[in-house]
Each structure stands twice: as structure tokens, then as C-alpha cells.
Structure 1
Amino acid sequence: MIQMPKKNKFMNRGAAILSICFALFFFVILGRMAYIQITGKANGEVLATKATEQHEKKRTIEASRGSILDRNGKVIAEDTATYKLIAILDKKMTTDVKHPQHVQDKEKTAEALSKVINMDKADILDILNKDAKQVEFGSAGRDITYSEKQKIEKMKLPGISFLRDTKRYYPNGVFASNLIGYAEVDQDTNEISGAMGLEKVLDKYLKERDGYVTYESDKSGWELPNSKNKITAPKNGDNVYLTIDQKIQTFLEDSMTKVAQKYNPKKIMAAVVDPKTGKVLAMGQRPSFDPNKRDVTNYYNDLISYAYEPGSTMKIFTLAAAIQENVYNGNEKYKSGTYKVGGGIVKDHNDGVGWGPTSYHDGVVRSSNVAFAKLANEKLGYTRLNEYLHKFNFYQKTGIDLPNEVSSKMNFKYEFDKASTAYGQASAVTPIQQLQAATAIANDGKMMKPYVIDHIVDPDTKKTIYTNKPQSAGTPISADTAKEVR
């Protein structure tokens, strides 16, 4: 009689547990599928969106930064196409040994490139020996011109290629540079932004916004035939038209260069202003810089940001005040040379020798310090002189549409300082304050506020989005007084 083996009770229990686990696992999967089907989400992400991301590609449509132009539409600053030099080091990029796509002879490549770009052969070789798939050459490899690109391409160096790039270009070089400033490329974002002067102040107008095309693609990234493209149009930066006149600015730059070469001054500040409107037609200084090279030594616009003792040019306004108050008699005689006032001695510029007894008219012609100190003290009076300093706006900023304007430093407390201020010493003013005051002399008593931004245009719509207009800054003297001063 054959005895059947007894079933192991532990085997039965294990099989039951395993069946329960499989059943639970099945219901979990079924529940998970039902949840995904109903909500369309997995791990907190919307699957439709994820699928779209995988199959939807975006292509950038580049926009351009706005240009800065003179009042006649001549370009002062604009975007221009350049190239970035790259070297491919990844051997996998070469699929045909007869047509290599990566750098093979690094010595030869470094030697050839050193003849075109501003980098030593040894430094280029160090870059080519890096453990990387692709390398760039820093600042020496950026802003490659089209002619430089052609030279390198003629060398037929395997693995050497170019990426199209954009840079800010200033066609006139040293040209109102501290006014215009410059813009530069952010190496992290590859965006051009204003870093100084009008380029920085007007960045919100000049700044561009790239557009893009969104399309459906296959897994390799190729656009599908029936793809419905979505286009977001680019927004080019606005074009800024200045009051600056290119021809006048060029004459001014040439003149300053000649003076700087001949006299080697610490500073030169010069501007040309239309007295009837306040439009600044030219503005410059020395030392200056080329915004293409950005060899900046002084980041300030000295006509706006530098207060100095104006010297004899201040006598214009003392004379105007005296004529306006009817206390100036050009034929009246005074003793030139020296004049004691407030515990100090005012001296004429020929070391106090003077020209003996002379007329006030002759004193004006000779730019006599004594004549103007006596006019301020004895004829006009310091109180009235100070009133005219206020009328000519020497106590406040002009409000010109430029950054970093400073105000004057008027020393009008002590008697000697008051007398000295009358002929341009003791107190300090900015060149732009003087220029504004001088418009009253040239414009029949009506003083005009200076400005440099004429209008701003949207290049896409051709609409003018901002316009500046002449604005009066006061009438400190009459037309007859202005004529007599002139």
C-alpha cells in the first residue's frame, strides 16, 4: 500500500500569502492607472504638459538692442554681428577620418590661431589641452570680425568653428564717450546691457526682447509636417535720437584733442548748447575713452558731475546783474591792481600791478578782478549779487536729462568769499550750470534748460514714444541787459 505524502502546511500558508500580495499589487496598479486616467497626473506632474515638453521645441528669434543716433539720424551706437571662436575637442564628433571634425594637431592649430587672435600660442595650447568636449578662448575669442573669421577659415583647421554673436559697436570711437557710455555683454546670460552713461540710463528703452517659434517635433527634434507653429514676435529695442550733432561733436573732439596734446591739461570740459532751445549740440571732455575698447579712466561726465571754480567766465553774470540793476557805468574810473576787502586783498591777474586808474569798461575788457570785486561790493552790493546768483540758478541743479548731476558749492558767508565769487573764485559751479546761465545772455534774457534726449522711436511700429521740448528755466535779466552784456 502506497502512502501519499502529506502537504506541508507551511507551503500552503506561503502560497496563500503570495496570492494575497499579488492581488494587492494588482489592485494598487489598477488604482494607480485609474488615478492617472482620471487626474492626468503622475508624481505631481501633468502628463500632458510633460508630453508637450518632450515633443514641443522652441526656436529663438533674435531681437536687436535699440540704436543711439544724433539729431540727423547718424548712428552713434548700434548692434553689429560678430563671431565667437570655438574648438571642438571631442573625438566622437569625427565620423569620417578623411574629414575630421575635432582638433587633431593642437600645436599647429595653436600656432595658426595666435597669428589672428590676441593670444599667445602657449595660452591657446593650454586651452586646447583641456579635458573638455568643446572650448572657447575667452575675450580673445569673442568679437571676431568677419575678416578675421575669413582668415581663420582659409587655414582649414579641423575642429575650429564659429558661433554667430552680437556686440555693441560705436562707429565714431572717442565721441561724446562719457555722455553715451557703453553697453556690454553679460557672459552668463549673453545679454547686452547698459553699463555707463546714456546706455545705462536708457536701458529700459534700448533693451530688446527676443521672440521665439514653438513647434512640435519627433524624438530627434525634427519639426513634424503638421506642426502648428506658435510665434511670439521679438521686440526690438527703441531707437534714441539725441540733440547731439555729429559734425559739431566731431569739431569739438578734434579741438579738445589738439589742446590736450599741446597743453597736457588735467581736465578739459566743453559743450555747445543752442541758447534758444537748450539743446546740447556737442559735449565732451578729456581724458576720454573709446567705448569699443572701454579704456575708461573717469566714469563721470565732468560737465554734469564736477563742480569747479569757474574763474573769469563767472564775471559775465556779475556784469549782467550790475547792468540789470542800473549800477554799471562803463566810463567811470576805478583804481586797478589791488583792492582790500574783508580782511583780504583782491589782485588783478598781472600779479596785482594793474593798469593804473582805468574805466570799468576797460576793466571788463582786461578781465580785472578788482573791477568786479568793486562792482559786487560798492555798486551792486552782496545781497543783490546773491539774488542774481539764485536767479541764474547757480544754487540748484539744472535737471538735465543725464545721470549723476551734482550742484554747486557756493561760499557766500564771509565778505572776501563774496567778493571772490563775483569774479569766479571761492565758489564752485558745474559747467552745465554755467551753460544754462549763459543761455540767458545769448537768448535775450530767457534762460533755457539744457537737454540731450530729443525723442525716442519704437522701430517696430515707427511710433514716437517720447518727445522732449524746450523748457524755460527763468528770465533773470531783460532783453536790453542781455544785449548790452553781449
Structure 2
Amino acid sequence: MSADDSSDRVPHDPAPEPEYVEEPVVPQLSGRQRAFAFARGLFRLRIEQSAVRVAIVGAVFLGLFSLISGRLIYLAVMPQEPENIRRFASAASVAARPDIIDRNGEVLATDVRMVSIFAEPRNIIDKDEAVELLTAVLPDLNAADLRNKLNLRRGFVWVKREVTPREQAEVHRLGIPGVGFVPESKRVYPNGVAAAHVLGFANIDNVGIAGIEKYIDSSGLQDLNGFGFARQANDLKPVQLSIDLRIQHAMRDELVKGMAYFRAKAAASMLLDVTTGEIVSLVSLPDFDPNNPVDALEKDRINRMIVGVYEMGSTFKALTTAMVLDSGKANINSTFDARSKLRYGRFSIGDYHGTNRILTVPEVFLHSSNIGTAKMALAVGVEGHKAFLKKMGQLDRMRTEMPESSMPIVPARWGDLNTITIAFGHGIAVAPMQATAAVGALLNGGLMITPTFLKRSAEEARAKAVRVIKPETSEALRYVMRLNAQKGSASKAAVPGYFVGGKTGTAEKVVGGRYSKTKLFTTFMAVTPADSPRYLFVTVYDEPQPTPESHGYATAAWNAGETTGRILERIAPMLSVPPRFDPPKNPFPLMARLGAWGTR
């Protein structure tokens, strides 16, 4: 092809390269963002979205209609009780409490159904008229207080708690809108003052305030009530106590007579089963009626067996005697010189009724020799003495089902002089029940059993018992206590047929930092039968006065001892210990083999 031909041809441009266009990046949306975008698109005024909007609005209205219909049906079927009534009433009024029964099934405390009047201030139109009408049929109401309550911006207030059926009927006839009734449980005590200090009481809201009633709440009743499981007494198992109501009545009757006769400031008595640790009876005077427990708040209404702490006097000599025998520092035939006073620094220790001679261990106990007992304690030593009393539960607070208890008062510094005085019951103050539990262990074979107010068997008690002294030491204590009832200060309680053993204790009270010769705290302990103990009786008097028969004395034998004898004689037929009018043969075999004083 020539050059001319090539010039006539239309030139062909090379094919253009494809142009690269970058695609836009679509951001990834979260679930919340997608839902928001859908909702925004849904409510745009676009015709294609209207059907969806109508469906959603219809579903919402259908749900609301169903909810309202269901509520109306519920209110028609269920009792018409406004929500605020249920809420406030359940917080203030309450569920049932279990019955409390004695060891024989007699009812000591139970619930009865009562009605209380409430008001809903927000629903009362004319509050002045309501006050006028209510105070007319309930004259004991304070009009000013009631008006103040009704003026509160609350949904619920109490008008009057625990009204009578007549009062309920009269208020009902008034027909005041916003005033109604709530059923409640009221605690009642059919036997009045009997066992008041043991039972304690419940307040107007049926909450346990003291005694066994408070123990029941602390044992889970409040939790049951909170979860709504205890609405009636039948929902709960009765609480069975170790108390015997028959013995309780008899013991209180004798103690009331004795307190009046001996013109004492206060008195208390209890009966302990030394084989189980059960408290069969406990009375403390002055007492109160738990149905109207306003008197319980007075300071002299304490439970003197548990809350009061006292120097126990010569009853502590039982502990000292057991300590020296169990330690091996002395035996039943050992002797102690009581011919002269025991001097320690500027202090001088003497005997109340001195014999001024050398005494055997049984004679020290029989004559209640302070000198001989102090020398027993010194033979063991300060540290041994402290360890023994610790083991016997005298240095720590006693814990039972009773919420109320007191800590013993013990010396901050404990030296020889403290051991001397504590040996015969001065210089340390304990609750009488504490001392009783310790003496019970000395008599029952040597097992420390914590006292209980709940019924339990001997097997259950032994499973938790702790051995504190040897069995032969326990026999020695039974022997000297029996000897004291035969020949010593415990003779006033030696009721024929019951082989009684006993020990008196008279302590001078501290007044103004000094021991008073005229203000005494007296104690008497008696065990029956002494050869095989079952029951330990304890009676105390606070500041008893002399009587014409006592020749000017106000010591324990003349008051606490005499009252204990009367109590034992009266209630012994109710106990499971039959009388034996012929004394047992060889009741203390080990003591006889050792040739103890008084067995020869």
C-alpha cells in the first residue's frame, strides 16, 4: 500500500482503558440503630407504611384492654381489699405465733383473732366529720391525735387497734368512706401471771419482746412471717416448754406468802431436774401480767434467777468442797484447823458460829466454816480455783433460751485474798441459776448440763453434757448435803419421805461500797432424793426481815430454808419421785468404805 492510500484511511483510536469507580462503603449498624431506623421509617408519612402503623397501634390497644379486663375480673372474684391496705396492714398487723404449752400440754400462750380499725386519709372527704363520728363511738380516742393522723398525706393510718365486736359494729354503722377493718392476731396468756418471767410477752404487733416469746422470734418465726408462711397458729407446731404449770402455781403461791411474811424486797424460786437440765418451774417476784405488760418495764420486775447477779454466800461452799476433793488436795477425812481466825494482811476471817477446833471436811460443810473453806481453797491455789470455777460456768455469762442474762461480776485482779472470800461466797456475783446449774453438776454424778426451758430427755441431755468432777466426788457432795439436812442448817427443808439434802447461804449486800449487816441476800438449795438426785430446789430472798420465831435472825435457814421446805412438801406428790418413809440402806457406799465422819 502506498503512502497516498494510507492517508485517505480514517484513523482508529486505541480502545480506552476502563475507568475505576470506587463503590461507597455502607456502614454497619448496631441492633439499636437498626431498630431506631426502622421506627423512624415507620412513622414517616408514607402511604406504604400506614398498614403497619395501624397494626401496631391496634396491638397496643388490645394489650391495654386485656390488662384492664383482667384486673376487673380479678377484683370481681377476689375480696375487694385495696393494695395499700394489704401493704400497710401486712407491715403493721401480723401473722400468727405458735402456741406455747407446758410439759403436760397445757396452753400457756396462744393467739386470738381480733379486729383493728384503719383509715385512708386520702379517701376521707370530710375529716372533721369523721373525727367527730369516730370519737363519739370510740370515746377513748384522742380527737386531736386522730385529726392529726387523718391530715397526714398517707394512704393508711391506724385508728384503733384490737377493738371489741361492739365497737366494730358501731363504727361499721357509721359508714364513713375510707374507714375499714383489718383482722389481726392478739397474743393472750390464759394463766395470767403464771410463768410470766419465763414466757415474756409480745407487743401489740405480735412481736416477741422478752422471754420465750423473743426466743421464738429469733428462732425463725420472723422469717416465716416475712415470707407469708405463718398466717395461722395451725400453720406452726406448738413450742413445748419444760415448765409444769401445776408446780408453777404452787411455787408462786408459797413464794408470795413467804415474801409477805418475811417482808422481803423480792424473792425467787426454781426447780431444776438435775438429770436433764430442765427448768420445771421458775418464779420471780415481783412479777407482772403478760396480758398487760406495762408493769414489766419497772426496774424491780427483773427475772432475779437469770438477770440479777448476787454474791451467793455459803452455797458456794459446795463448789469449794468439791474442788478440793476432786483435786486430790484433800479427801473426805482430811482436817482443817478452825481454832483461830484466818488473818491476811489487815483482814481477819472468822466463822459465824465458830467451833474453835479442828474440823473434818464434812464438819467444815456442816458448820459452814469460813475458815475451813478458805483453807480448802488456798490448798488448791489461785490458778486452780479460777480454773475450777471457769469449768463450772461461774465466770462466764450463762446462755439458755432466755434472751435475757447477765455477766458475772468477778475480780479484775485475783489474788489470795480473792480466793479466800470467793471460797465462802463473797467477792464474786453470779446469777442464781448459774450457781444452781453448777451445784446440779456436783450432785448428778459430775456432769455439767446447761439448763433449758424446753422439754428434753435425759439421753438428749447426756449427749451434750460435759464431765466436770469425778463420780466419787459427786457422792461426797451428796453425802455432806444430806448430813446438813440431818444435823445442820438445812433441817427445815428435810421433808420426811424424800431423803432431802441441802445447803444454806447468807450474803451481806454491798451498800455504799461496804458490806451491810442488816441487808442480806439469802439462798437455800435442797436436793431430793440425796442418794440418787433428781430435783434441785432453790429459793432466794432479797433483804428479808427477822420474824418473831427467828429470834432476831434473818439468815437463810429462817426464811429461804423454811419456804423451800413448804414448796417441796406441797409439790413433791406431783413429781416422779415416790416417797420412801424407810431410809435407804447404805445410800453412800463409798463414803461408808472410807469411814467418813458421820457414817461410823
Taking the aligned partners of 1:210 and 1:333, their CA distance within structure 2 comes to 64
Amino acid across the alignment from 1:481: A
In structure 2, distance between residues paired with 1:423 and 1:32? 97
Inter-CA distance 259–142: structure 2 relative to 1 (3 Å threshold)? farther
Secondary structure of 2:425's match? coil
CA gap of 1:345–1:168, structure 2 versus 1, over 3 A, is: same
Q: Distance in 2 between matches of 1:266 and 1:24?
A: 94
Asked if 1:66 is matched to 2:101, the reply is: no
User: Aligned residue pairs: how many?
Assistant: 403
Partner-residue secondary structure (3-state), 1:476: coil
Q: For 1:187-266, list aligned pairs within 5 A.
A: 192-203=206-217, 204-206=219-221, 209=225, 236-263=235-262, 265-266=264-265
Structure 2 CA distance for partners of 1:83 and 1:477, relative to 1, 3 Å: same
Match of 1:334 in 2: 337
Distance 1:234 1:315, change over 3 A: closer
Q: Deviations over 1:240-290 (max 9, x none)?
A: 111111122223332333344344545544322110011111223233322
Give the match's secondary structure for 1:340.
Answer: strand
Deviation for aligned residue 1:37? 4.7
Is 2:473 aligned against 1:481?
Answer: no
CA shift for structure 1 position 293: 0.8
Corresponding residue for residue 290 of structure 1: 289
Amino acid at match of 2:348: I
Please, what is the CA RMSD of the aligned residues? 4.8
Percent identity over the alignment is: 23
Q: TM-score, normalised by structure 1?
A: 0.66
Q: State the AA in 2 paired with 1:254.
A: D
In the other structure, the counterpart of 1:393 is 393
Contact 2:95–2:185 (CA under 8 A) maintained in structure 1: no
Letter of the 1:175 counterpart: A
Distance 1:182 1:305 in 2: 16
Cα offset, 1:30, TM superposition: 7.1
Report if aligned partners of 2:97, 2:236 keep a CA contact under 8 Å in 1: yes
Secondary structure, in 3 states, of the residue corresponding to 1:420? Answer: helix
TM-score (norm 2): 0.55
Structure 1 residues 65, 322: closer, same or farther in 2, change over 3 A? same
| Structure 1 unmatched runs, 5+ | 1-22, 94-102, 187-191, 213-231, 456-466
Partner in structure 1 of residue 90 of structure 2: none
CA gap of 1:159–1:129, structure 2 versus 1, over 3 A, is farther
Larger Rg: 2
CA distance in structure 2 between the aligned counterparts of 1:47 and 1:157, rounded to whole angstroms: 38
Report the 3-state secondary structure (helix = DSSP H, G, I; strand = E; otherwise coil) of the residue aligned with 2:390: helix
Separation of aligned partners in 1, 2:61 and 2:214? 46
User: Aligned pair in 2 of structure 1 residues 27, 423: CA closer, same or farther (>3 Å)?
Assistant: farther
Equivalent of 1:35 in 48, 53, 56: 56
Provide the rounded CA distance (Å) in 2 between the counterparts of 1:56 and 1:152.
28
2:365–2:480: 8 Å Cα contact kept in structure 1? no
| CA pair 67-376 structure 1, distance change in 2 beyond 3 A | same
Q: In proportion to residue count, which structure has more helix?
A: 2
Structure 1 pair 47–260 and aligned structure 2 pair: CA distance change class (3 A): farther
**Cα distance, 1:318 vs structure 2:** 0.7
Distance 1:386 1:50 in 2: 76
Q: Which amino acid aligns with 2:242?
A: T
AA in 1 matched with 2:419: K
Contact 1:170 1:292 in 2 (8 A): yes
**Where do 1:400-419 residues align within 5 Å?**
400-411=400-411, 413-419=414-420
State the partner residue of 2:436. Answer: 435
Contact 1:84 1:142 in 2 (8 A): yes
> Offset of 1:339 from its aligned partner?
2.0
Q: Could you tell me how far 1:418 is from its partner in structure 2?
A: 0.9
Tell me the distance in 2 between the aligned counterparts of 1:311 and 1:183: 36
Deviations 1:327-380 (A, max 9, x none): 155684633673212542223346xxx343363444422323222112222x44
Does the aligned pair in 1 maintain the 2:210–2:403 contact within 8 Å? no
Determine the C-alpha separation between the residues in 2 that align with 1:151 and 1:52.
37
Note closer, same or farther for the CA distance 1:264–1:158 as it changes in structure 2 (3 Å cut). Answer: farther
Q: Aligned with 2:368: secondary structure?
A: coil
Cα deviation for residue 294 of structure 1 reads 1.4
Equivalent residues of 1:335, 1:356 under 8 A apart: yes
Matched, 1:366 2:367: yes
Q: Deviations over 1:38-84 (max 9, x none)?
A: 5x589xx9764454333313449996321111111111111013344
Contact 2:115 2:168 in 1 (8 A): no
Aligned to 2:207, the other structure's residue is in SS state: strand
Provide the rounded CA distance (Å) in 1 between the counterparts of 2:150 and 2:167.
27
Q: Deviations over 1:384-431 (max 9, x none)?
A: 433432332323444423324444333362211110110111122222
Aligned to 2:357: 357
For the residue of structure 1 that corresponds to 2:274, the secondary structure is coil
Q: Check if 1:312 corresponds to 2:314.
A: yes
Contact 1:304 1:405 in 2 (8 A): yes
DSSP 3-state at the match of 1:273: strand
Per-residue Cα deviation, 1:71-101 (whole angstroms, up to 9, x for no partner): 1111111101334468999xx99xxxxxxxx
Q: Which residue of 2 aligns with 1:3?
A: none
Preserved CA contact (<8 Å) 1:336 1:368: no
Distance 1:127 1:307 in 2: 45
CA distance in structure 1 between the partners assigned to 2:209 and 2:51 by the alignment: 60
Q: Is the 8 A contact 1:408 1:429 kept in 2?
A: yes
Q: Tell me the distance in 1 between the aligned counterparts of 2:441 and 2:392.
A: 8
Read off the aligned partner of 1:440 and give its amino acid letter.
A
Amino acid across the alignment from 2:247: I
Q: Is 2:385 aligned against 1:344? A: no
The answer (yes or no) to whether the contact 2:336–2:375 under 8 Å persists in 1 is no
User: 1:55 — aligned with what?
Assistant: 73
Equivalent in the alignment of 2:515: none
Residue of structure 2 in register with 1:228 after alignment: none
Q: Equivalent residue for 1:19?
A: none
Counterpart amino acid of 1:335? Answer: A
- Deviation string 1:123-151 (CA, Å, 9 cap, x unpaired) is 5799699989xx9995xx54345xxx459
Q: Cα 1:128–1:380, aligned 2, differ >3 Å: closer, same or farther?
A: closer
In 1: Cα distance, 2:343 partner to 2:253 partner: 43
Judged with a 3 Å threshold, the aligned counterparts in structure 2 of structure 1 residues 68 and 30 are, in CA distance, closer, same or farther, namely farther
SS of 1:143's partner is: strand
Shift of 1:437: 1.0
Q: Distance in 2 between matches of 1:266 and 1:254?
A: 17
Q: Is the 8 A contact 2:96 2:232 kept in 1?
A: no
Residues 393, 438 of structure 2: 8 Å contact kept: yes
Q: Which residue of 1 aligns with 2:202?
A: 183
Residue 271 of structure 1 aligns to a residue whose secondary structure is strand
Query: Which residue of the partner structure matches residue 426 of structure 1?
Result: 427
Equivalent residue number for residue 173 of structure 1: 192
Q: Are the aligned partners of 1:87 and 1:159 in contact in 2 as well (CA < 8 Å)? A: no
Measured in 1, the distance between the counterparts of 2:441 and 2:200 equals: 30
Task: Pick from 463, 472, 476 the counterpart of residue 465 of structure 2.
Answer: 472
